[in-house]
Structure formats: C-alpha cells, structure tokens
Structure 1
Amino acid sequence: MQNILLTNDDGIQAQGINRLFDRLSRSYRVKMIAPEDDCSGKSQSLTLDRPIKVRQIDGHRFAVQGTPADCIQLGSAHLIDAKPDVVISGINHGANLGDDVLYSGTLGAAREGRHIAKLCMAVSLAGNHHFDTAVQVVCEILQRLERAAMPSVRLLNINVPDIPYEQLQGFKVCRLGERPIAEPAQPVQDPKGQTHWWLGRLAPGQGEDFEAIKNGYVAITPIKLDETDSAALAVVDSWIIK
C-alpha cells in the first residue's frame, strides 16, 4: 500500500484532515482533494448545475468548490497521477453513527471512492478535541491492513471516541445502530418578518456502534454497497410480474 487519496466534508481548512495529512505523508504518498467549504450533510451528492472550480494549494493539495463526491470524481480523473490504494474520508469533526451514514458527506465521499480504490474508509471523531487519537487509530488500522494483504472489504465506517489514545478500551467491529427522527424544526424570523426554519437537533441513538463509542471503544462497521433487498426480490416479483 503506497498511494492514499484523502478527502473530507468539513473543508480543506479543517483540523482533522490536516492532522491526518501531516501524519500519513511521513509514510505514504498522499494527495488531499477536499471541498473548499463545509459540506456536512451532502451525502454522495454531485454538482451538476455549474462548472467546478479547483484551487491548487501545492503539489499535494487541492481545494474544490464542490461536494466531497465531486472531489473523488475530479481526483480520479484529473488531479492525481497514480491510482490510490486507499481512499480515506475524514477525520470528520463529530461522529457518524447509525443513520448518520445516510446523510454524511464523509460517508458519501468514501462510497464514491469505491470506483477507484481497493478500500475506502470514513473516519470520524466523536467530538472536536483528541484528533491525535483518531490519527493514531488510522495509522494502526492501515498497518493491520498491510499485514492482512488488503482483504476484500470495500468500505469501513470508523468512529473514534474523543478521548486520549491511552484511554481507548480497544476496537469493536459492530453493526450500525439507529437514531429516532430528529427533534422538530424550529421557526425563526428574519428582519423582514419572513419565517425560516432550522432543522432540529439529532436525537440520541442506540445500538452497537453507539454503545461502543459510549464505552470507549473504536467502532468499526463494514458497510454494504449493494443496497438491494435480496430477500424481497421474490415477494415483489410475485405481485409485479404477472
């Protein structure tokens, strides 16, 4: 494993991605292609209604005026000279647990990366303080993957507790949990008296990955890319195909 493509959804200036870039660049050939601005919640959306501007910072870093998935598309086609072995999206500022994986730009970029890399990882810190812990976790996982000769797993969702590395309880491979529906949206009025809305806060979740983080474990979840409900194929066939 030599070539790593690094992206995120918090933007090119975010602390998480820059900490990770600095550390990985010591051991790997790393290209950073990240959004110019915060794209949290963009999932795997693409920019289809306008041209996309790219600002080259140096020979290894590019800022894209688009979404995280745009960054992967542009990187694979034009901005990198070697196909990446691994795509890493993160380190995200805040956890991506349970249903978060449906909305997360961090996960969206990692999913998009499946077209160009053997393995894609979405990495999130469950807070905004101990980024060094998450950086060390990524390095350890990469080392283990190298010893495993890059197994056939395609996408991993990795969440790291926001605690010092020495306080981690270990690693847990676990299923995604679930969040209830978000709190109700809140109306606000602008100076002209027009009503706008703030979406409600995410509700607390429950399930294996939530429990792992709560108890101080790194939560690792393999994500299935084929969303077909195979068990339902015959059921639907029975009432559609006549």
Structure 2
Amino acid sequence: MESLVESTVRILLSNDDGVHSPGLLALYEGLKGIGELEVVAPDRDHSGASNSLTLNRPLTVEEHPNGFQSIDGTPTDCVHLAVNGLFDKPFDRVVSGINTHANLGDDIIYSGTVAAATEGRHLGLPAIAVSLVNDGHYHYETAARVVRMLLENRLALSLGPRSILNVNVPDLPWEQLQGIRVTRLGHRERAEGAVPMTCPRGKKRYWIGAAGEGGDAGPGTDFHAVRQGYVSITPVHIDMTRHEAMPALREWAEGLDALGGHNDGDA
C-alpha cells in the first residue's frame, strides 16, 4: 500500500476459493464505495495452487450476472489476465481473498490466495492477501472490514519491491478483535502422513495429509497473534535468495576445483 486510497482508485479482487466463494462476495460488499472494484477469480476452487500459471492451453473467461468474471485457470492466471488483457483501464492495487481458512507460516508457499497477491506485485501493483482463521463461525464481514480499514489508512506505506501484506483475521465479531499485530511468519510442524483409500474401481489413491500444527508459533509470529485474538499483518518479500548464506556458499564453492579445471579445458 504505497499510496493513499482515493475515490478513483481501481482495485482488482481475486481469490483461490473460486468466483462463488462467500469470502469473495463479502470482500466485494465490504469494499463498496472505496473505489472502482473489478472481480476476476477462478471458476472453481484452486486452493493450494501456489503460483502456477497455465501455459499449455488458452484460458476461457465467463462473465456472471453480478458482474464478476471467472477464468478456467489458477489464481495467478486470473490476476495476470485481468491486469494484462481483460480491461482497458489499469488497476492501482490487488486484494486477494477472503480465504476461507488461515494462511499462516509455511502455508504461503502453497497458497493460491497469496499467489494472486504476489502476481499483482510482480506486475507492479501494491497487493494484499487476506485470510480468515476459520473456527466455524465464518465472520467474513470482520475480515472485509479489516481490509477496508487498511486501505483507508491515510498514512502512506512503502513496502519496497516484490513485497505484499499477508493478513490473517481471527474468526471473531469485529468488536471482539484485540487489535493489530505486525508479525513474522511462523513455521508448521511436519504435515500428517498421506491418507490411503481405495477408489470404486479398486485402485489405491491418496489424500494429502493435513498441515502440521504451528511448531515455531511463539510471540511475534502470525500464529501467536491470531490465537490471542489479534489481526496478524506480515510483510512478505518474494525474494527466495538466502542472502546470509552466500558468503559461506562462495567459500565452499571455491573448493570445487574439478569444475574450474574443466572450464580451463582439462580432462
């Protein structure tokens, strides 16, 4: 959110739960009046799609009676196509969500919700991914109100290049939220084992096991904040280089004499 939100701002809304998701509708309703809203989302649930982009076939766009548009592709496809082809007017920012479940810690590696936001960022737009830490009450309106509050903040925010905000909102009524915490990503324990099953044709199949609980989930993490009733806001930088490891890696790589000899023409 590098600049103030004005009445003329154009916001692209997307998600990974699909165009018919109640979270997406709640986000749209909650942001009405804040600017021009356009919705482009997958035609079905693409949870766990991460940043996959469809390159082996053309994509189909369908417009729905409520004005939303759906694409038979991934969340990344939706944002990419919306920004680079579907509209004549440019967008000012992207908001992805409201995801039906949390995107905490390692979840962001797999999350299509976060992927939609990062695609917006890759295309030069400030972006927010927002998820509901669902415990069965489905307070989407609370998460939508949080997003509106963030967008209406009159203080400019500069996150730098390739950065988004990952927001997780406890599944509580608005008045029960404890506040906002700026957090780092925690880490989950190892996922549960794959669950075998037999299909009606007698062949063995597997369900991916459930995600692990928070292992690194102490104070300062996104896990801890939402458990305490706080909205978690984490700045996520999409640069996977581990910069602090580079000096040791360079020193280690200097010992790879065989490759150096090969480059010099030695056998």
Same topology, TM > 0.5: yes
8 A Cα contact 2:167 2:231, kept in partner: yes
TM-score scaled by structure 2? 0.86
Q: Displaced runs of 4+ in structure 1, greater than 3 A?
A: none
Structure 2 Cα separation of the partners of residues 225 and 102 of structure 1: 11
Name the SS for the 1:13 alignment partner. coil
Instruction: Read off the aligned partner of 2:193 and give its amino acid letter.
Output: P
Structure 1: runs of 5 or more not aligned: none
- Residues 10 and 37 of structure 2 are in contact (CA less than 8 Å); yes or no, is this contact kept in structure 1? yes
> Would you say 1:222 and 2:229 are equivalent positions?
no
Mapped contact 1:83–1:117 kept (Cα < 8 A): no
Question: Looking at CA atoms only, which structure, 1 or 2, has the larger radius of gyration?
Answer: 2
CA apart distance, 1:150 = 4.1
Q: Quick one: percent identity of the two aligned structures?
A: 43
Secondary structure, counterpart of 1:223 in structure 2 = strand
Report how many aligned residue pairs link the two structures.
240
Match of 1:37 in 2: 44
Name which of 84, 88, 91 aligns with 1:81. Answer: 88
Match of 1:137, SS?
Answer: helix
What residue in structure 2 maps to residue 67 of structure 1? 74
Are positions 1:3 and 2:6 aligned together?
no
* 1:142 aligned residue (112, 131, 151): 151
Where does structure 2 lack aligned partners over 5 or more consecutive residues?
255-259, 261-267
Task: Pick from 77, 91, 101 the counterpart of residue 94 of structure 1.
Answer: 101
Question: Offset at 1:22?
Answer: 2.0
Match of 1:170 in 2: 179
**In 2, are the aligned partners of 1:83 and 1:116 still within 8 Å (CA)?**
no
1: CA distance, partners of 2:34 / 2:57: 37
**Do the aligned residues in 2 keep the contact of 1:72 with 1:113 (CA within 8 Å)?**
yes
Tell me the equivalent position of 2:24: 17
- Contact 1:31–1:80 (Cα < 8 Å) also in 2: no
Whichever residue aligns with residue 83 of structure 1, its letter is: P
SS at match of 2:222: helix
RMSD over aligned Cα, in angstroms? 1.6
8 Å contact kept, 1:30–1:60: no
Q: Please, which moves more after superposition, 49-58 or 221-230?
A: 49-58
2:40–2:82: 8 Å Cα contact kept in structure 1? yes
**TM-score (normalizing by structure 1):** 0.94
Asked if 1:231 is matched to 2:244, the reply is yes
Question: Could you list the per-position Cα deviations for residues 65-115 of structure 1 after superposition, in whole angstroms to 9, with x for gaps in the alignment?
Answer: 000000111011111232222110100000000100000000111111113
Secondary structure of 1:90's match? Answer: strand
Distance 1:59 1:189, change over 3 A: closer
> 1:183/1:167 Cα in 2 relative to 1: closer, same or farther (>3 Å)?
same
Alignment of 1:101-180 (within 5 A): 101-127=108-134, 129-144=138-153, 147-153=154-160, 154-180=163-189
Query: Which stretch shows the higher mean deviation, 120-129 or 199-208?
Result: 199-208
